[in-house]
Amino acid sequence: MNASGALIIGAFLLASFQLCNHVFGASSTSTITVCANVLPWLKIRAYQHDVQYQVTENDLKQGYVDLPGSATIHIKTNANKSIGVRVSNEGPEKILVRESGAYHFSGADGTLIIAQPQRGTKITKNLDFRLILPKGAKGGTYSLNVAINSYMY
């Protein structure tokens, strides 16, 4: 490359640099609006305290076994919606559930409705189970295998 070519390239680069400073060095402001959609979430931890239960002659006469304090659930959510908990049993018994200390058990599907929590607060509930014994049940010790699922509505 000869000296005149280098001089032309140098002049071009110098002009470009000054042009860039002029264009990018200007002061201006702008506003950007950002929208975020946070999806509702629900976190549940469940602890089953009773893994076995006894069926006595008295239980056979009344047709059910009560298991107070059978489970504890911890729930946290970011939504302001009511929460339901469904407890299902793998055995032949139908299961009912209630919050410990409550008077009535829920419907036959093992569903418990928990009041609408405040967003971000942690809810802890102790649960009582009632197992409705099937026809032909016999006394003895049985395994209790439950699943506890939660949902929002």
Helix, strand, coil shares of the chain, percent, nearest 5, are 20, 40, 40
Q: Has residue 65 got a pLDDT over 90?
A: yes
d(CA 153, CA 151): 7
Q: Is the pTM of this model over 0.75?
A: no
Taken in order of first residue, the domains within the chain and their CATH numbers are: 42-152 (2.60.40)
Average pLDDT of the chain is 82
d(CA 50, CA 69): 8
Q: Which of 55, 14, 42 is nearest to 138 (CA)?
A: 55
On whether the CB atoms of residues 143 and 91 are closer than 8 A, the answer is yes
Q: Which of 126, 16, 19, 30 is nearest to 70 (CA)?
A: 126
Averaged pLDDT for residues 7-31:
59
Query: What is the gyration radius of the CA atoms in the chain, in angstroms?
Result: 33
pLDDT in tens, 104-113: 887 667 888 8
pLDDT on residue 73: 93
CA 11 → CA 4, 18, 55, 61, 114, distances in Å? Answer: 10, 11, 98, 105, 76
pLDDT in tens, 26-61: 677 888 898 988 888 888 999 999 889 999 999 999
